[in-house]
């Protein structure tokens, strides 16, 4: 028996390692990233390849990474958990997502580029179940290339974006993710039509919008637009400081109320330039997923920027959960561009951090 046990051990180790490494996400852009109950869910997207078969596979993939424990991004390939087999959403890219619902544990997916006619798909993270909800209210068109922002009352705000039927837009549609009702926001003083812009919910219940593309040119970053979710109105603010060059296909995390640009001190190994990635604030980190511009195999699909120290941000390969990640507060919002106010107040100096790597 001892001889048999030792004989089988290498085989079992080989099988186990094979199972762990059996799923490796493909490179992607135009995906969504949604943080729910310690898990970062990555859904869909498009490949950097022109191969239609590969793009179909990428657009269908659904997987997550657990953030309740310490991990190293160098071995990230053994940590992704594949949920593609339970995914009923057709292959798609450039959709918008947010966490919402009655218990704030449901992934809401809106629009995107696909052959699908349904506007909304929902994923129940507790029961691993996808469904198409019956949403009532105003007539809503299907849009893509926009950002979903969730507020403290479970409303998902979907500004602008692009439509096959109407082109580039500047409308504001709102999904009540708790009562499943469509609403319309104000168009008075709304920003010019745009897609692939930056957006975040501020603590004062305003959503900040800036940059993007209007279909003809890239939009400057020397002014920002604020949508007041309480009063349903728009305001415009000029920024100060040294404004970055105009751009789109970037991602953002916050906080800010003084609208001043500045360049923070950053240390650590600087990663390769990327664009069309996604970012979420998880604990003390800005977590950046996938994008275009790096070589998979030489650099991790996931980048970590420690923003816990306002005096110096630091690139890291080690994620360490904060207490708020281990015991999350379910009533706080987390959108595609995540605003995790349950984490340490690492932005007490009021900084807007733009990921334009």
Of the given ranges (53-57, 199-203, 228-232), which has the lowest mean pLDDT?
199-203
Mean pLDDT over residues 205-213, rounded?
94
- pLDDT for 23 equals 85
| DSSP state for residue 29 in the 8-state scheme | B
Rounded CA separation 74/301 (Å)? 9
Yes or no: say if 156 and 150 are a contact pair by the CB < 8 Å rule: yes
Mean pLDDT over residues 35-46, rounded?
97
Return mean pLDDT, the chain: 85
Look at the block and give the residue holding tokens 């096959």.
164
- pLDDT for 334 equals 45
Mean pLDDT over residues 246-274, rounded?
77
Rounded CA separation 256/121 (Å)? 32
Q: What is the pTM of this model?
A: 0.86
| DSSP state for residue 325 in the 8-state scheme | H
Class of domain 28-355: mainly beta
Structure tokens at 95: 């959709």
Mean pLDDT over residues 116-125, rounded?
95
**SS3 of residue 84 by DSSP:** helix
**pLDDT tens digits for range 217-226:** 999 988 999 9
Mean pLDDT over residues 247-253, rounded?
68
| DSSP state for residue 227 in the 8-state scheme | E
Mean pLDDT over residues 170-176, rounded?
97
% pLDDT > 90, the chain: 67
Please report which confidence band the pLDDT of residue 257 belongs to, taking 50, 70 and 90 as the band edges.
Answer: low
Yes or no: say if 108 and 177 are a contact pair by the CB < 8 Å rule: yes
- pLDDT for 331 equals 42
**pLDDT tens digits for range 282-302:** 999 999 999 999 988 889 999
Beta bridge partners, 169, equal 161
The full set of domain ranges for the chain reads 28-355
Yes or no: say if 120 and 109 are a contact pair by the CB < 8 Å rule: yes
Residue 4 has pLDDT above 70, yes or no: no
- pLDDT for 344 equals 36
- pLDDT for 240 equals 84
Yes or no: say if 120 and 108 are a contact pair by the CB < 8 Å rule: yes
Highest mean pLDDT among 72-81, 123-132, 267-276, 307-316: 123-132
Residue 8 has pLDDT above 50, yes or no: no
**pLDDT tens digits for range 296-345:** 888 999 999 999 988 899 999 999 998 765 433 334 454 444 433 333 33
The Cβ of residue 135 has, within 10 Å, a number of other Cβ atoms equal to 19
Mean pLDDT over residues 188-214, rounded?
94
Residue 48 has pLDDT above 80, yes or no: yes
């Amino acid at each position: 028996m001892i001889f048999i046990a030792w004989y089988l051990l290498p085989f079992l180790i080989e099988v186990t390692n094979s199972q762990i490494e059996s799923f490796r996400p493909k490179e992607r852009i135009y995906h969504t990233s949604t943080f729910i109950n310690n898990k970062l869910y990555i859904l869909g997207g498009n490949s950097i390849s022109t191969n239609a078969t590969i793009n179909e596979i990428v657009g269908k993939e659904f997987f997550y990474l657990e953030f309740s424990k310490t991990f190293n991004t160098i071995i990230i390939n053994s940590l992704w958990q594949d949920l593609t087999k339970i995914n009923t959403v057709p292959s798609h890219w450039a959709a918008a997502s947010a966490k919402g619902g009655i218990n704030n544990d449901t992934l809401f997916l809106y629009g995107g580029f696909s052959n699908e006619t349904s506007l909304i798909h929902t994923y129940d993270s507790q029961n691993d179940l996808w469904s198409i909800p019956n949403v009532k209210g105003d007539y809503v068109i299907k849009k893509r290339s926009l950002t979903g922002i969730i507020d403290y009352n479970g409303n998902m705000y979907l500004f602008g974006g692009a439509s096959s039927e109407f082109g580039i837009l500047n409308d504001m549609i709102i999904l009540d993710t708790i009562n499943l009702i469509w609403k319309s926001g104000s168009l008075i003083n709304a920003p010019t039509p745009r897609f692939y812009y930056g957006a975040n919910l501020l603590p004062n219940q305003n959503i900040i919008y800036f940059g993007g593309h209007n279909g003809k040119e890239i939009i400057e970053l020397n002014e920002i637009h604020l949508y007041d979710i309480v009063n349903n109105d728009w305001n415009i603010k000029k920024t100060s400081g040294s404004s970055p060059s105009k751009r789109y296909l970037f991602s953002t995390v916050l906080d800010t109320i003084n609208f001043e640009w500045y360049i923070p001190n950053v240390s650590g190994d600087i990663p390769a330039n990327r664009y069309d990635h996604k970012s979420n604030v998880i604990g003390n980190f800005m977590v950046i997923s996938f994008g275009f511009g790096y070589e998979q195999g030489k650099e991790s699909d996931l980048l970590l920027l420690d923003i816990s120290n306002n005096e110096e941000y630091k690139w890291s390969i080690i994620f360490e959960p904060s207490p708020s990640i281990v015991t999350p507060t379910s009533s706080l919002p987390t959108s595609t561009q995540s605003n995790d106010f349950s984490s340490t107040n690492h932005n007490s100096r009021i900084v807007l951090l733009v990921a334009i790597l």
